[in-house]
Amino acid sequence: MTNEIVAATGNKHKIAEIQAILAPLGLRVLSANDVGGMPDVVEDGETFRDNAVKKALAGARALGRTVLADDSGLEVVALHGAPGVYSARYAGEGGNDGRNLSKLLREMTDITDRRARFVAVIAVATPEGLVGTAEGEVRGIIATAPRGQGGFGYDPVFVPEGEVETFAELPAAVKNAMSHRGNALKAAVAAGLFR
């Protein structure tokens, strides 16, 4: 495999997190923007794995190079796993982080069981096909109000197990060391997906 890998995202926060974890392996991570964009893929899979594989294969075939794709989201126990694969569009198509957070907190107003987990699945593909997938998770609880300025998505309301601060309050290096995406990337490295 090459020493460059394209991450099927233009999200600068995801790129920074991926690069921080893969740089020690000598891998240079390019964003979708660096390579002129990725094909539009409808994320209609029933699982995070379905969506990650679909994005990785489409990107690798369109670009003719190795592509890493992820799909991730928040699963809240009291909401029967929601928002789940709909995390990015929980407040509707074209939703944004603020509206998604507001909807989640509204739905949890009187809920005392605030257990949740972030899940991420990494898929790596070449133009020849799927190399493999790896999953990571981090468990925690949902705070009653957003806290912190860092991170993105649901980070301002997610307090990982063993911490008192939300992902948005923790330093990026601390968050990356325990995050679902970080755990999935580490599992992908351990599984040899980047060889």
165 exposure class (CB count in 10 Å sphere: 0-12, 13-18, 19+) = middle
Q: Is position 180 annotated in a ligand binding site?
A: yes
Question: Any known ligand binding at 9?
Answer: yes
The separation between the first and the last C-alpha atoms of the chain, rounded to the nearest angstrom, is 5
Residues 6+ apart with CB under 8 A from 14: 7, 70, 181
Sheet of 67-76, strand order: 28-31, 4-7, 67-76, 115-126, 129-142, 158-160
Is 175 labeled as ligand-binding? yes
According to the annotation, is 72 in a ligand binding site? yes
- Tell me the three state secondary structure of residue 126: strand
155 annotated ligand-binding residue: yes
| 11 assigned binding-site residue | yes
Query: DSSP assignment, residue 143?
Result: -
Is 98 assigned a ligand-binding role in the annotation?
A: no
Report the candidate in 117, 123, 98, 106 with the shortest Cα–Cα distance to residue 187: 123
186 assigned ligand-binding residue:
no
Q: Which of 71, 97, 110, 113 is catalytic?
A: 71
Q: Is 110 a catalytic residue?
A: no
Q: Is 152 annotated as a binding residue?
A: yes
Question: Per the annotation, does 70 bind a ligand?
Answer: no
User: Cα separation of 6 and 31, whole Å?
Assistant: 6
Q: How far apart are CA 34 and CA 56, in angstroms?
A: 16
87 within 8 A of 154, measured Cβ to Cβ:
yes
Is 55 part of any known ligand binding site?
Answer: no
Binding site membership: which residues? 9-14, 71-72, 152-155, 175, 180-181
Binding site membership for substrate: which residues? 9-14, 72, 152-155, 175, 180-181
Binding site membership for Mg(2+): which residues? 71
Active site residues: 71
